[in-house]
Structure 1
Amino acid sequence: MHPEAELWFGAHPGDPAWLQTDDGEQSLLDTVREDPEGQLGAAVCSRFGDALPFLVKVLAADEPLSLQAHPSAEQAVEGFNREERAGIPISAPNRNYRDPSHKPEILVALGQFEALAGFRPAARTVELMRALTVSDLDPFINLLDAQSDADGLRALFTTWITAPQPDIDVLVPAVLEGAINYVRSGKGKFAAEAKTLLELGERYPGDAGVLASLLLNRISLAPGEAIYLPAGNLHAYLEGVGVELMANSDNVLRGGLTPKHVDVPELLRVLDFTPAADMVIRPEIASDGMELVYNTPAPEFAVSVLCIDGDQLGHEIDAPTRHDGPQILLCTQGSTVVHAKSNKVTLERGSAAWVSADDGPIRLVASEPTKLFRSTVGI
């Protein structure tokens, strides 16, 4: 046994979950393929075909992860077909598109979670760069100050990500020196951004992604808060543990902060440079009072948290029914017995259950305060 950065619960061919059945272990991928309508339901099959449209992950970032973005549906199909025609193996390290699906995603923080996500409004970025008082940044400040919109952000990001390595080797140390001086000054307004610069610069010396981090929103999520990342959103998870729910895809375009393949032209093709401000999502309490719902526009998935406590403890309760599709239940606190039509299972912290479309609805019994992340198909 050893620490894992990601734990996948789903039916993606790259790493399907395994079901514990009376007949032994069976992959969820094979289970769905053998009986798609029974497992997914007729309505889900008619919308998405014979494959589970979402993927659940538990993500544990002990150190900053790569700077990356995901393609739109159209870009994913075109890119996948293009790389298939070129004969690039699916497992090749220089493969960008491992499936023909887009990958919108939501991350819900289980504890304090730190991230970079979405391009910060240009005026705020100009203010940050000026606060670092680095003369080498002056040309770039002038560029963005003169064109403070998505086109300006595209021009600046492109300049940095395509700069010759000797230029990067001069600019990055100068920016880091400015960040050190800023932190020492105790001014505080951009303390989190400056400290992130220093951390990234230490871990990824000479990486243009360190400069790119200057352009992104620095986000701190409290437990229970979330961020939704649509296609083209440049982001990097810095530290923390969270539950991710996404379309069933493994398509990633990296932009730095990684030793893995970085395809700059393809990344620039998919990025959305529209500035984003308030990206934090907070759940809404459903009318029954026990379900916290995170609303996103993604049709492939929906996520909520079932909270069992107080007078509900020790009693059999019906889980709210949103629709008749499949569910993945992930226990993140406490313990509960999940009763479905054909079977029951005890879920403890860190374990998950697959509930097929023809096995719901479900009932729950918990003797201690319990939280279950429920992943379903979007309504």
Structure 2
Amino acid sequence: MKIKLTIIALSILYFSTVKAQQVNVARAFASAAKQTEVLIKNVDSARKIKPNLVSPRTVENGQFKMVVSKDWTSGFFPAELWYFYQYTKDKKWLNLAEKYTEDIKKEQFNRGTHDLGFMIYCPFGNGYRLTGNPAYKAVIIQAAKSLSTRFNATAGVIKSWDHNGDKWKYPVIIDNMMNLELLFETTRLTGDSSFYKIAVKHANTTMKNHFRPDYSSYHVVDYDTLTGNVRQKVTAQGYANESAWARGQAWGLYGYTMCYRETKNKAYLAQADGIAGFILNNKITPADGIPYWDYNDPKIPDASRDASAASITAAALYELAKYSSHGQKYRAAANKILNSLSTNYTSKIGTNYGFILEHSTGHRPAKSEIDVPINYADYYYLEALLRSKK
């Protein structure tokens, strides 16, 4: 009887702790909406001066930074607007989402980037999911066709970067896992399995070559397209080649969770569980769950955090919790991260030109976007809020 009472008491304590850490989603969305209204005003003002700039990316050195549609982050801003529409059902957000999504449309034909998942699928995928607009479906399909041209069958991967040919020949970054959802969706929309097969081959090759025994990942793996062999493994945006760059770990977690959803391949679930274990069991991570920009930076604790890595991780954990036997642990961890972001990492209304979250790190080795607000942190934060309700 004592054992039963102890188990019941522990269960009550566990679930009360989880519940206590859950974010008030309505309050968080209301605050985020007010901030985003400020952001929209700044976007419109900036576009009057430079109409080719379509999306807000960050604030750096006190300056509001907008980007053209071919920038890899261009799709996150309109995609955020779709999430506001999803949550509120307010046509105001629908009209705004439609307006700014249109600005990215031409990138469906861009064969010079692997980032079409971010650029096209985030806004057009959410737009199609929420409205069924056939024009959005056509854009998604064309974007998948463009992305597929970057696949090399010998190496078994989609090429990420075309730049710095003196450093690498056929570089593939862990971020590329995020673009596979575009391919999976296009097979669903068209019935053409070639897109699905490319996504699976890329995921399998990446699982084989990108990860260390502890489930941490390299940032870049360079391939020889004649033999399919790995030429080198580096971590371009992290502290060192053998370090664990925080956002890279988050991309991997999210990517393999999504791959399991799309394929039900248990190898992907095991991979996602392994990556989650590396992230959640890492003693370097501060108590609030928001990681330093790289787990191996020797300057820790005097190193910048990365709220973007945290928001991506939270969004991934909420989904992974539905599939894994560790679901309760993952949901509790996601709640903690989301609570920390909502409590201590949000901008005060009217500040930071309207970006929602503070304290992200973009590319520290290049001394770029260090301890700043950034659009993809905001996008995955909103996604995590939506997923927390489910």
Task: Return the index of the structure with the highest Cα Rg.
Answer: 1
- Give the structure with the larger helix fraction: 2
Q: TM-score, normalised by structure 1?
A: 0.25
Structure 1 or 2: more strand by fraction: 1
- TM-score using structure 2 length: 0.25
